[in-house]
Chains A and B, each alone.
Chain A
Amino acid sequence: AQSVTQLDSQVPVFEEAPVELRCNYSSSVSVYLFWYVQYPNQGLQLLLKYLSGSTLVKGINGFEAEFNKSQTSFHLRKPSVHISDTAEYFCAVSPTPLGGGADGLTFGKGTHLIIQP
């Protein structure tokens, strides 16, 4: 089984400042890692994903994340935030499938990013 811990439930940041949203996971097998964003009363949209290869992953809207296997972390960063980045952000994991797989994702509890003008 896998678990995901998002260390901050809320992160307030001033506009144009950098931000880091932290995510740690626990798993006995190799995992795929994801960050999703959710705007109020909407579904989730994929920001970025790590499947294999380079540990620095770039996503949409200027976000990036770095996979650190030794620290079992996948922190999300953006160098300069905008008011429109105000949303809920979810980190999620899935076990790497053996011969394919479509099991559900395990999500963290989310981090509410609040951008202050």
Chain B
Amino acid sequence: DGGITQSPKYLFRKEGQNVTLSCEQNLNHDAMYWYRQDPGQGLRLIYYSQIVNDFQKGDIAEGYSVSREKKESFPLTVTSAQKNPTAFYLCASSMYEGGPFNEQFFGPGTRLTVL
């Protein structure tokens, strides 16, 4: 089945530790995205990548880092510089054909809790 997988589903971290969230897609999509969701806040864009080895900051990139070494993978690292990292993190992907925008497909999410 084609889709987006995120792992782990739940993640616990101690303050001061970096942690990496995994996102893999087998949809052959060019573009990938990371969003953060907080209760009552909707989703906010952290980073996005349109092609391999290229990515751009979204609205709330501070304290996060990403890499895009392979088309199917877009891991997100939450660094110790992120002041309030406890949240639900969603990864998404979409086609990017230089034409009309296509819908974003979302993974099941990772819930990160900082202890």
Q: Does B84 count as interface, using CB distance less than 8 angstroms?
A: no
Query: Which partner residue on chain B sits nearest A31 by CB separation?
Result: B101
Which of A12-20, A45-53, A63-71, A73-81 sits within the interface?
A: A45-53
Chain B residues whose C-beta falls within 8 Å of the C-beta of A99 in the assembled complex? 98
Given A44-B90, A109-B40, verify A104-B103 contact (CB < 8 Å).
no
- The answer to whether B101 and A32 have CB atoms under 8 Å apart is yes
**Distance in Å: Cβ of B107 to nearest Cβ of chain A:** 5
Contact indicator B94/A107 (Cβ below 8 Å): no
Contact between B106 and A100, CB atoms less than 8 A apart: no
Does any Cβ of A come within 8 Å of B31's Cβ? yes
Contacts of A92 in B (CB 8 A): 43
Contact B42 A104 (CB under 8 A): no
Count the A residues whose beta carbon is within 8 Å of the partner chain — how many? 30
- Give the distance in Å from the alpha carbon of A42 to the alpha carbon of B9 in the complex: 10
CB pair B103–A34 under 8 Å, yes or no, is yes
CA distance A92 to B50 in the complex (A): 19
CB pair B111–A102 under 8 Å, yes or no, is no
Tell me if A110 and B108 are in contact (CB < 8 A). no
A-side interface mostly: loop
Shortest Cβ distance from A92 into chain B, in angstroms? 8
Cβ of A96 under 8 Å from chain B: yes
**B17 touches A (CB below 8 Å):** no
Query: Is the C-beta of B72 less than 8 angstroms from some C-beta in chain A?
Result: no
**A27–B101 Cα gap in the complex (Å)?**
17
Tell me the smallest distance from the CB of B17 to a CB of chain A, in Å. 24
Chain B residues within 8 Å of A106, by CB: 45
B111 pairs with A105, CB closer than 8 A? no
Closest 8 CB pairs of A and B: A100-B98, A102-B31, A43-B106, A104-B45, A102-B96, A107-B42, A109-B42, A44-B106
Show 9 A/B contacts (Cβ-Cβ < 8 Å), sorted by A.
A43-B92, A43-B106, A46-B103, A46-B104, A49-B103, A101-B101, A102-B31, A102-B94, A104-B48
User: B residues bordering A, Cβ < 8 Å?
Assistant: 4, 30-31, 33, 35, 40-45, 48, 50, 58, 90, 92, 94, 96-101, 103-109, 111
